Structure formats: structure tokens, C-alpha cells
Structure 1
Amino acid sequence: MNDRPSEIVKFDNVGLRYGTDPEVLSDLSFTLYPGSFYFLTGASGAGKTSLLKLLYLAQRPSRGAIRMFGKDMITLPRERLPDFRRRLGVVFQNFRLVQHLSAFDNVALPLRLAGTSETKVIKAVSDMLEWVGLSHRAQAIPATMSGGEQQRVAIARAVIARPQMLIADEPTGNVDPDMALKLLRLFEALNNRVGTTVVVATHDVHLLKKVPDSLIMRLNKGRLSDPTGALKFPPRPENKQKGGL
């Protein structure tokens, strides 16, 4: 029996302000469904990063209700948050790599924390580093890597455990166009073949047409518009494939 929730995320009249400043996000009401691919776009300062912080549970809203994986996130005790964060893969703008670990060990971290056997870790991480073009940099530490290389390590780490939801903040901003497309195809494969819900925040309008069945959520001054019906309709499951990455 499929016990996945019918919705991954549900926002109801959510607002966010920092301190006593005006709201940076206002009246957000939307639903994200399992197996959907969303682009979150908008001008600089529109609130994309603030919305992503709510999605990956780094920030609580100032008002409104948020449900994730069928649970109320507002009333959830803080000690239970790590259990829910393990269902998420996050690609941060500033990478957040562990500086004393090699590229290999950074990517392996989610699998090792989950108790995966080292034999499986070695195979999975080696395959992932090959996919993102970093096999030759497996033992390099972040300080010796370029921004684009660090970005690819961060992405590999975020997807290695096949999360239920992947949240990526400008994931292609530090790589060339060819690698950007390849990384986008990795997200698409995770979405199509594993069923991961993907949310990619980007200012690059050229990316928006690269994923055929993607939905677009556009932020403007802290409010959402909905040019593709992303906030109203679930994905069409018949479009999804099965199989491994």
C-alpha cells in the first residue's frame, strides 16, 4: 500500500517578518504535491530565500499554518524537527560544506548518518561524483575547490539519499551552462524516477522551459502568483516513470 501523503507541503495564509520589520512574505497559501517539479522565481528581494527557509524548516512563520508530510509544523516540538529534516535534501547558495572533509566524505555524510553500509556508500558516492564530473576531485577539500566544484559537491550531497523533497536555492549559479543543464537533468531524474518533489529557486528564466512538466511559482514583493496553476492542481501521475537513477 502507498502510505505517502497526498500532499507534501500545505501553507495556509502564511506570513513572515523578521523582528518588527514589515512582512517579507504575506498571505501565502499553496500546496506542493508528491512527484511535482516546481520552479520558484521572482526578482531579487522578492522573498525566495525566505520562503525556502520555511520549506526546509530553518524558520518558523510569524503567522499562518504549515503542514509537511501530514504533520502540523507550527506545533511540532523542536526536538522532532531533525526527523523531518532528514526527509529533505537542501542545496544552499553558500554550499555549507564541511570544510575539513573531502568531497567524497561530504557527499557520503547523509548516507553514513542514516547507517548505510560502507560498501553501499562507496558505490553510491563514487557513481554520484562521476555523474557531476568530480571523480578526479573525490579527495579534495572544499578550500582547494572552485565555486562551481563546491556547488556540484553540495548538489551531490543533497540528492545522494533520494530525499522525499529537494529544495535548491539557485543551484546552477556557479556552473557553466552545460553543467547547469546536466545538474537540472539530475533533479529531473530524481523527480521522474524516484518521485521526489523538487523545488528549484532561480532567477534564470532560461531554465524554466527546460523541464517539460514543471510548474512555476512566481514571488512578487512577498506574494505568490501562479502562472501555470502550480498552486491549484496536483501532478499527473501517469507522466512519472519508474526505476533507478
Structure 2
Amino acid sequence: MTAGEAGIVQFDNVGLRYGADREVLSDVSFTLFPGCFYFLTGASGAGKTSLLKLLYLAQRPGRGMIRMFGQDVITLPRSRLPAFRRRIGTVFQDFRLVPHLSAFDNVALPLRIAGMDEASVRKPVADMLEWVGLDHRAEARPETLSGGEQQRVAIARAVITRPQLLVADEPTGNVDPDMALKLLRLFDSLNRLGTTVVVATHDVHLLRKVPESLIMRLDKGRLSDPTGALRYPPRRGSFEA
């Protein structure tokens, strides 16, 4: 990767408001580069969740330009959005697992929706459950899993399609500190395989755990750049326990 390499996501003077209220995001501009790890932080109400919704295409901005994977997504026909969304993995704070499905079937869901035949589903799902340390819980339903286990299933489901971009909204908010570190290690490992990772968090202690990670800080809907996240960064070091 070189300093002139194009980003996979580009925001240019993006603004977002809900209804007639004041803008929750104002003049937001940044670039996300391939293979980098970003933390998105800020006080409650700063606009983190709204920015993530724009990143995983659940919301369109009121103004500005957004390009993803080389395409203007604001003018993109809705018929093409599902294909774009398959390139983005999303992890929510509240997990959003399907309650009547086993851990295996929750992780397999994106592959089945994409039309993969059943014979081809089993190995990647089994490998992914092993990767998150839950191969022994493949048949368990969400209600029988701990909070940390549910979050790991959610992560496995988000990355089973090998997304180019992973967006995680407060993924450690419902787990204890030890589990938070384990989850962060999973994100770090995925990032080292080439996925660009964006983790929204209010936990300032996590920001020091991924050396040379890039911090994007929101304050009342405006973005600051304390670690150079808006320009191309150096390669990261090793994960810190």
C-alpha cells in the first residue's frame, strides 16, 4: 500500500439530520484506507451511531458525498444496495441473533441468503465457529449462550462472507473487561487478514490496546482527527494485552 492509494470509503462534507431537527452530523469528511483499524469515539449523543448507519448503508445523508468501493452510493439505485452490503460486515451492541436458530445457523445465515448451496456452507461455518472459540457450542441457541458467547456468534456471522469493511457499534459494551479484550483480539486478527475495521466505543481504555490504531473523534456531530486517521497511516504493530 502506498501513500497515494485510494480509500475504500470517502466522506466529503457529509451532513445528516432527522426530520426538522438540527444536524446530528455536520461537514464530516474522512477517508478509510484498506487494511487499517479505526476507533470511532465521542461522548454519548456525539453522532457515532448515526455515522455508522451511513457506513453500513442503513441511512442516506442529507447532503455531501459518500463513495464506497469506488462508487457514489448516494445515487446508487436501491436494487444495487444488497450487493454493496454484502461487502460490509456489521456487529451491533445488542447482537441481533435470530433466537430460534442455533449458533451454527445464525452464522450460516448470510451464506444461505447469498444462495450458497448447503454442501458448501458447513465447512466455512464450522471453521468460523472454531475461530471464535465456539465450535463446541454450534448447536446452542442464543438464549443458552452467555453475553460474550452471543457477541462472538454475532462477530462470526458478520465476517463469514469475508467483508472488505467491518463496522462494530459498541461491541464490548455488554461484556466484562476480559471478554472485551478477547473480542478486540478477534477484530485485530480479522484486520490483519486485510479487512478494514471501524469500532465505535466510549471505552477510552480500549484505544491503547491496538498500537497505531487510528482514532476518529466525534464532538457534537463534527469529526476531529487526533491520530491522523484522515490521512494514510503507517502499518500497525502488535496487539497489546
TM-score (norm 1): 0.88
Give the deviation of 1:120 after TM superposition: 4.9
Give the deviation of 1:157 after TM superposition: 0.7
SS at match of 2:128: helix
Identity percentage over the alignment? 79
- 1:62 maps to 62
Q: Are the counterparts in 1 of residues 148 and 179 from structure 2 also a CA contact under 8 Å? A: no
- Quick one: which amino acid aligns to residue 126 of structure 1? A
Q: Distance in 2 between the 1:12 and 1:28 partners? A: 6
- Quick one: which amino acid aligns to residue 223 of structure 2? L
- 1:196 maps to 195
Q: Distance in 1 between the 2:16 and 2:201 partners? A: 21
Give the deviation of 1:100 after TM superposition: 2.0
- 1:144 maps to 144
Q: Distance in 2 between the 1:143 and 1:135 partners? A: 17
Q: Distance in 1 between the 2:128 and 2:207 partners? A: 25
- 1:16 maps to 16
Q: Are the counterparts in 2 of residues 9 and 68 from structure 1 also a CA contact under 8 Å? A: yes
Give the deviation of 1:96 after TM superposition: 1.7
- 2:210 maps to 211
Give the deviation of 1:94 after TM superposition: 2.0
Give the deviation of 1:225 after TM superposition: 0.8
TM-score (norm 2): 0.90
Q: Distance in 1 between the 2:110 and 2:237 partners? A: 26
SS at match of 2:168: strand
- 1:49 maps to 49
- Give CA deviations for 1:171-196 in whole Å, capped at 9, x if unaligned: 1122222222122111111111x211
**Unmatched segments (≥5 aa) in structure 1:** none
Q: Are the counterparts in 1 of residues 13 and 28 from structure 2 also a CA contact under 8 Å? A: yes
Q: Distance in 2 between the 1:157 and 1:111 partners? A: 9
SS at match of 2:57: coil
- 2:126 maps to 126
- Quick one: which amino acid aligns to residue 160 of structure 1? I
Q: Are the counterparts in 2 of residues 35 and 235 from structure 1 also a CA contact under 8 Å? A: no
SS at match of 1:124: helix
- 2:94 maps to 94
- 2:232 maps to 234
Kindly report the root-mean-square deviation, in angstroms, between the aligned alpha carbons of the 2 structures: 2.0
- Give CA deviations for 1:57-86 in whole Å, capped at 9, x if unaligned: 000001111111110011111111101000
Q: Are the counterparts in 1 of residues 54 and 61 from structure 2 also a CA contact under 8 Å? A: yes
Q: Distance in 2 between the 1:159 and 1:234 partners? A: 24
Q: Distance in 1 between the 2:188 and 2:118 partners? A: 27
Q: Distance in 1 between the 2:99 and 2:59 partners? A: 25
Q: Distance in 2 between the 1:136 and 1:36 partners? A: 32
